Amino acid sequence: MSLTYPTMIPDAYRDNGELADAYTRGWNHGHGIACHNVPTIGRQLFIESLGRVMVDVENIRQVHESLCFEAEQHSRQYSPFEFTAHEFNQHGQGDEETVSSDELWEAFDAGIADAIHADLANYTDEDYGITTSDI
């Protein structure tokens, strides 16, 4: 659906190699989540932000977005994400770093959100299995 690498890194991160890397890592993380959490019409799901829903033609895009951001939050509780978290959290401690840990997290989170939104923007009705008779 979307590109596996961002076509453009936002100005806020582009000129700093560490922030550009954090953004790109976030993009890759978000892209993988968007590709692997595609809902199926007719399936009943429980989503924390929506409650129990039946996936249908009208809500599939909202369900897909909610699934993606929920999966991303849940993924932070398990390895290998813990290695990224440790790296970002330890950044700049005791050193004269030009980039703070918070700035790395901001770039990473922006990459995730941008990738998920880019992926979802490219999904067509056909990708979701929606036919003209469903509309």
Write the pLDDT tens digit of every residue in 4-59: 678 889 999 999 999 999 999 999 999 999 999 999 999 999 999 999 999 999 99
Is 19 in contact with 99 (CB distance < 8 Å)?
Answer: yes
What distance in Å separates the CA atoms of residue 34 and residue 38, rounded to the nearest whole number?
Answer: 7
- Where is pLDDT greater, at 107 or 134? 107
Q: For tokens 């398990």, what's the residue?
A: 78
What contacts 53, CB < 8 A, 6 or more positions away? 44, 45, 46, 47, 59, 63
Q: State yes or no: pLDDT of 134 exceeds 90.
A: no
What distance in Å separates the CA atoms of residue 64 and residue 116, rounded to the nearest whole number?
Answer: 10
DSSP classification of residue 49: T
